[in-house]
Amino acid sequence: MTGQRAQISLLPDGRRLHLHDGPIDLIVEAFGTADQVRAAYRAGAQRFVNVLDELCAELALLRQAFKPDSDEPRGVVARRMAAAVAPYSERTFITPMAAVAGAVAEEILAAMTASATLDRAYVNNGGDIAIHLQPGQQFVIGIVERPDRPSLFGTAVLKATQPVRGIATSGWRGRSFSLGIADAVTVLADRAAVADAAATIIANAVDLPGHASVVRVPARDLAPDNDLGERLVTQEVGELSSEEISRALDGGEQRARSLLSSGLIRAAALRLREQTRVVGQIHRDGLRVPVLERSLVSA
């Protein structure tokens, strides 16, 4: 069964690798000599075919709230997930599933870089991205506000000299449920799983508790086995005044700043409607938002 279920293919551009298994969908691209890229893709694909089975073997544990005294999961990916959510476990409800996408991306990237010498590479797991950069290399990263309308609202340049190797985005419109109302919270952190967990936490903190325009539904009513259980997840956000948008973002920004000062993240961009907050500086060429405002030229 294993390995036959997973789909492994090159995209039509002939350069990027597409790995798909159950709910995991990865876009992978490596840069280097043809031989090394080929070796990396082979290694990534070989590692990939077992990942979902390993996770599912201890899924029940991974869906439970992670507490400081929780059992340590066994799998390599699961341990990455647990480590990423551990910093929050004392004060907040969080399950290791909050870091699953980033942890899987990291794992595949690790398999690739262990088997090949690459200039640079990324593994993109639905917006949660693990990055590899050799000295002197860089990536330009685009940030999407709404997954259903893939146009960019900002870009960031990641250079090898910066510590950032993980990017994640969370928001209520994304594939996973959110307790908050952010359209998108994008986090840059040293590792993808860490970024993934942090984006979830910050997006949850962009909120207007009890606001009448926000439609919330118990997660269990939508997906009976979801790790959020009876918790109310955001399904629709109606009219908000700019003052309310600002207040919601204040909560998220405060959370992002505390993560920044504790060293868990390097930067974050928080987007709700037409307002954006940016926390942290990476570099002179760092996160710049927004870039879309057209400047009109006078005749």
Q: 86, 110 in Cβ contact below 8 A?
A: no
Residue of 45, 121, 130, 237 that binds another protein (CB under 8 A): 45
Q: 158, 131 in Cβ contact below 8 A?
A: yes
| 282 forms part of the interface with another protein (CB under 8 A) | no
**Nearest residue to 202 via CA among 283, 143, 258:** 258
Amino acid of residue 12: P
The distance of closest approach from Cβ of residue 240 to another protein in the complex, given in angstroms and rounded to an integer, is 22
| 140 forms part of the interface with another protein (CB under 8 A) | yes
SS (H, E, C) 25-53: EEEEEEECCHHHHHHHHHHHHHHHHHHHH
Give whole-number Cα distances, 97 to 194, 269, 291, in Å.
Answer: 12, 22, 33
| 296 forms part of the interface with another protein (CB under 8 A) | yes
When the beta carbons of 26 and 208 are compared against another protein, the nearer one is 26
Residue of 73, 105, 225, 242 that binds another protein (CB under 8 A): 225
**Nearest residue to 19 via CA among 6, 29, 32:** 6
Find the binding residues for another protein in span 11-40 (CB under 8 A): 11-18, 21-23, 25, 27, 34-35, 37-38
Find the binding residues for another protein in span 65-124 (CB under 8 A): 124
What are the φ/ψ torsions at residue 211 (nearest 5 degrees)? -70, 135
Residue of 64, 155, 246, 275 that binds another protein (CB under 8 A): 155
| 224 forms part of the interface with another protein (CB under 8 A) | yes
Residue 39 to residue 139: CA distance in whole angstroms: 21
Interface ranges with another protein (CB under 8 A): 5, 8-18, 21-23, 25, 27, 34-35, 37-38, 41-42, 45, 52-53, 56, 59, 124, 126-127, 138, 140, 142, 144, 147, 150-152, 155-157, 174-175, 221-225, 285, 288, 291-292, 294-299
